[in-house]
């Protein structure tokens, strides 16, 4: 049985999509990504619960349980399969520990950077170093650290001020090295460097000419692929036959195909690449392309959904399985051994499985399961014995409480598009005439999925129905649906949200006088749009890190997003030629239409949506004597990494929502 690895899907617009996504927390896995209002495919299932629901309220879940740091999270297996690293949150400390799986000894504490910030970590190929990417208080200028688990020493491999490090990859054949991209010489461009872990030496390998947004390496650790941006908003995939060869264009994507197309990596022999491609398809399908002849083979596709996750055998580099996120995750298998392994794995947990990492000897796999009414749960699977073992849950205290179920829905928008989403009802209450929160996802080029969400559980536990919609412009549903959102910020994208609210009202689920709109990042913008463009629909709005002026948003993007600015112009609006249009879609210029109270939260260190975006609309509302409450978190970035900040915000938001929607709140 071969080991699986989830290959990172490097979308041509990965940074572009990230800019408006909330970073409140990581789950360990990164995604790649009907018949009239009032009708949905799950209608009968939802209606079945109406008569069976109890009218009694369930126990109030404390905020410090719902929004606590996970007790244990982010497990990672060493390449030799003998050690497990994971994060432990205890007594106010965030610690990386290493457990020796074949030895009966205490876990080893890993030395970490002494500066506060967001971080993630992974094993180096030498089985003794933990590599840590960490920024400073959410500024996203990540440094790469190497922590020696044997000596306890740590070194900053990229000790440069105001420089962002992005890991390109490691190679089994070069265990003492890691390839990183650094914007050290030009803030707008990331060049490629080889870092030697043991010595800390840095060697420049490739200079970015100014249009490259991503680099790829082959099995030998040689840079042989590059993703470039074009003036029309599209992208080109460049390849070369060896590390010193001439670059040539293998595939060219226009901007309409670029957001659900991406290179995944080279095959073992280096002659072919696995790629997500939607040039001749509406959806991102998985193909194999011969880099010398251009010969293309379609491996798997779906007419409605983009490929989400690809599992590749580490020894042969052959595709083992691929997934699609539909209402839930669905898998397609490429061989009998893989399908048999999934039969065992699927019995471990009722949730949807994600593959994290595995050992080089194909023996140990790490899995994560997400479920709507249980916290994220981790398992180890032994492929030789075909046995899985539970490791730990992220928030074990939640096991003592009644959590809500989330169900998929769909309806038809006013102009005929199918809008998919999810609805969560408060447990223990009838599903009629409820106060409801429209919880809008960030991105907007991302999507909501089925699975555990502390925020949704918090809302449902407080007595609210929670509506999550994958409005046009959301990813995962093919390029036609995504491109239907082009230049529709505050336009048809918002119409879809209003159509969803009307759907819930017509179903009888939502009380039309007690509906709130809530969201982070793009969702925060949508909340401001809801308050200013359609104030009669909502009773209140909550905006986290949302832009208020699309002109100043585009003017203030970080320099390293400059290569994707043309794509912004295509999808949001052109800063040079469409300033009036951008202003017409900006809540700041519609402040006089606001008639509902708004709660605004902002990180003072946010590099994506600057503090000025919140400052300016708060000032304008105060000048109009409007009800606005402003929470500024000076040490936060684009999300809440600090538990104190999280609890402060959710305490204020809970009271605010209860005041205006009538839900429960914890004193």
With CA atoms as reference, report the closest residue to 547 among 636, 612, 632.
612
Q: How many CB atoms neighbour CB 347 within 10 A? A: 9
Range 556-587 burial, b when 16+ CB lie within 10 A, else e? ebbebbbbbbbbbbbbbbbbeebeebbeebbb
Inside any domain, residue 31: no
Considering the domain architecture, whether residues 368 and 446 belong to the same structural domain is answered as no
**Top-confidence residue, 141 or 102:** 141
- On whether the CB atoms of residues 496 and 411 are closer than 8 A, the answer is no
CA pair distance 8, 309, nearest whole angstrom? 8
Lowest mean pLDDT among 17-26, 144-153, 364-373: 17-26
Considering the domain architecture, whether residues 183 and 284 belong to the same structural domain is answered as yes
pLDDT at 29 > cutoff 60? no
| Active site positions, annotated | 521, 606, 638
Per-residue pLDDT averaged across 387-404, rounded? 96
pLDDT tens digit string along 565-580? 888 899 999 999 999 9
Considering the domain architecture, whether residues 301 and 438 belong to the same structural domain is answered as no
Inside any domain, residue 34: no
For residue 19, the model assigns a pLDDT of 32
**Domain boundary, last residue among 349, 367, 398:** 398
**Domain boundary, last residue among 377, 398, 419:** 398
CA pair distance 570, 573, nearest whole angstrom? 6
Per-residue pLDDT averaged across 131-159, rounded? 95
Q: How many CB atoms neighbour CB 46 within 10 A? A: 17
Considering the domain architecture, whether residues 544 and 580 belong to the same structural domain is answered as yes
- On whether the CB atoms of residues 513 and 537 are closer than 8 A, the answer is no
Helices (H), 363-438: none
pLDDT confidence band for 46 (50 / 70 / 90): very low
Considering the domain architecture, whether residues 350 and 377 belong to the same structural domain is answered as yes
Considering the domain architecture, whether residues 417 and 358 belong to the same structural domain is answered as no
CA pair distance 485, 488, nearest whole angstrom? 5
Residue with tokens 């989830």, as numbered in its chain: 6
pLDDT over 90 percentage in the chain: 81
In DSSP terms, 277 is beta-bridged to 285
Inside any domain, residue 82: yes
The 8-class DSSP code of residue 593 comes to G
pLDDT confidence band for 54 (50 / 70 / 90): very low
Per-residue pLDDT averaged across 317-330, rounded? 94
CA torsion angle for 378, 381, 386, 389 (degrees, to 10)?
A: -50
With CA atoms as reference, report the closest residue to 602 among 590, 591, 616, 623.
616
Q: How many CB atoms neighbour CB 349 within 10 A? A: 19
Structure tokens at 90: 């205890």
477: containing domain: 40-65+406-661
Q: Across the chain, what does the average pLDDT equal? A: 90
For residue 52, the model assigns a pLDDT of 33
For residue 503, the model assigns a pLDDT of 98
Q: What's the CATH code of the domain at 84?
A: 2.130.10.120
- On whether the CB atoms of residues 343 and 333 are closer than 8 A, the answer is no
Considering the domain architecture, whether residues 423 and 548 belong to the same structural domain is answered as yes
Inside any domain, residue 17: no
CA pair distance 8, 496, nearest whole angstrom? 31
Considering the domain architecture, whether residues 256 and 354 belong to the same structural domain is answered as yes
In DSSP terms, 379 is beta-bridged to 367, 390
CA torsion angle for 489, 491, 496, 502 (degrees, to 10)?
A: 130
Considering the domain architecture, whether residues 524 and 471 belong to the same structural domain is answered as yes
Structure tokens at 456: 């949704």
Q: How many CB atoms neighbour CB 143 within 10 A? A: 22
Considering the domain architecture, whether residues 412 and 366 belong to the same structural domain is answered as no
- On whether the CB atoms of residues 79 and 127 are closer than 8 A, the answer is yes
In 428-562, DSSP assigns E strands to 434-440, 465-470, 510-520, 540-544
**Domain boundary, last residue among 364, 398, 432:** 398
- On whether the CB atoms of residues 276 and 286 are closer than 8 A, the answer is yes
Q: Which H or E element spans position 454?
A: helix 454-461
For residue 363, the model assigns a pLDDT of 86
pLDDT tens digit string along 105-114? 889 999 999 9
Domain count, the chain: 2
**Top-confidence residue, 14 or 321:** 321
Inside any domain, residue 29: no
Q: What's the CATH code of the domain at 55?
A: 3.40.50.1820
- On whether the CB atoms of residues 252 and 278 are closer than 8 A, the answer is no
Considering the domain architecture, whether residues 624 and 537 belong to the same structural domain is answered as yes
For residue 566, the model assigns a pLDDT of 87
CA pair distance 254, 197, nearest whole angstrom? 39
Lowest mean pLDDT among 101-115, 389-403, 587-601: 101-115
For residue 56, the model assigns a pLDDT of 59
Considering the domain architecture, whether residues 421 and 516 belong to the same structural domain is answered as yes
444: cis peptide before it, omega within 30°? yes
pLDDT tens digit string along 79-103? 999 999 999 999 889 999 999 998 8
């Amino acid at each position: 049985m071969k080991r699986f690895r989830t290959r990172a899907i490097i979308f041509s617009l990965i940074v572009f999509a990230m800019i408006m996504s909330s970073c409140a927390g990581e789950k360990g896995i990164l995604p790649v990504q009907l018949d009239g209002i009032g009708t949905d495919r799950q209608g009968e299932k939802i209606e079945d619960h109406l008569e069976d629901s109890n009218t009694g309220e369930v126990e109030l879940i404390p905020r410090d349980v719902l929004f606590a740091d996970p007790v244990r999270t982010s497990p990672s297996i060493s390449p030799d399969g003998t050690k497990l690293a994971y994060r432990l949150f205890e007594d106010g400390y965030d610690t990386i520990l290493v457990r020796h799986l074949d030895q009966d000894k205490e876990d080893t504490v890993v030395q970490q950077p002494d500066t506060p910030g967001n971080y993630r970590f992974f094993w180096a190929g030498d089985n003794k170093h933990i590599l840590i990417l960490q920024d400073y208080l959410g500024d996203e200028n990540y440094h790469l650290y190497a922590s020696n688990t044997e000596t306890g020493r740590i070194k900053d491999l990229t000790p440069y001020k105001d420089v962002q490090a992005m890991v390109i990859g490691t190679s089994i054949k070069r265990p003492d090295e890691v390839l990183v991209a650094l914007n050290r010489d030009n803030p707008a461009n990331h060049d490629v460097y080889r870092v030697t872990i043991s010595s800390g030496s840095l060697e420049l390998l490739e200079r970015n000419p100014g249009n490259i947004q991503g680099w790829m390496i082959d099995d030998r650790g040689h840079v042989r692929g590059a993703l470039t941006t074009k003036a029309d908003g599209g992208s080109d995939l460049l390849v070369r036959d060896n590390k010193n060869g001439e670059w040539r264009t293998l595939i060219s994507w226009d901007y309409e195909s670029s957001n659900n197309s991406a290179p995944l990596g080279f095959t073992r022999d280096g002659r072919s690449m696995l790629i997500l491609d939607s040039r001749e398809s509406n959806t991102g399908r998985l193909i194999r392309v011969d880099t010398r002849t251009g010969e293309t083979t379609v491996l798997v596709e779906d007419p409605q959904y983009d490929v989400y996750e690809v599992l590749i055998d580490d020894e042969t580099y052959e595709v083992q399985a691929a997934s699609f996120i539909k209402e839930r995750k669905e898998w397609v298998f490429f061989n009998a051994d893989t399908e048999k392994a999934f039969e065992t794995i699927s019995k471990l947990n009722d949730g949807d499985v994600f593959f994290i990492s595995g050992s080089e000897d194909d023996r140990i796999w790490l899995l994560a399961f997400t479920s709507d009414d249980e916290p994220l749960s981790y398992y180890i699977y032994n492929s030789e014995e075909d046995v899985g073992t539970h490791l730990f849950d992220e928030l074990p205290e939640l096991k003592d409480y009644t959590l809500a179920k989330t169900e998929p829905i769909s309806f038809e928008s006013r102009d005929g598009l199918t809008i998919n989403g999810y609805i969560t009802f408060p447990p223990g209450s009838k599903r009629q005439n409820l106060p409801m929160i429209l919880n809008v996802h960030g991105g907007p080029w991302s999507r909501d999925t089925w699975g555990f969400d502390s925020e949704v559980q918090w809302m449902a536990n407080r007595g609210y129905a929670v509506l999550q919609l994958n409005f046009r412009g959301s990813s995962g549903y093919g390029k036609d649906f995504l491109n239907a959102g082009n230049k529709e910020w505050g336009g048809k994208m918002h119409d879809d949200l209003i159509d969803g609210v009307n759907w819930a009202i017509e179903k009888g689920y939502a009380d039309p006088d007690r509906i709130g709109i809530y969201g982070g990042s793009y969702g925060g913008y949508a909340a401001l749009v809801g308050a200013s463009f359609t104030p009669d629909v909502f009773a209140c709005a909550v905006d986290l890190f949302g832009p208020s002026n699309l002109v100043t948003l585009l003017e203030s993007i970080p320099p390293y997003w400059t290569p994707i600015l043309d794509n912004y112009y295509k999808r949001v609006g052109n800063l040079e030629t469409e300033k009036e249009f951008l202003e017409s879609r900006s809540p700041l210029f519609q402040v006089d239409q606001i008639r509902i109270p708004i709660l605004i939260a902002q990180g003072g260190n946010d590099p994506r949506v600057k503090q000025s975006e919140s400052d300016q609309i708060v000032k304008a509302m105060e000048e109009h004597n409007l009800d606005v409450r402003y929470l500024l978190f000076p040490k936060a970035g684009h999300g809440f990494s600090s538990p104190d900040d999280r609890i402060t915000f959710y305490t204020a938001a809970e009271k605010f929502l209860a005041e205006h929607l009538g839900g429960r709140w914890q004193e």
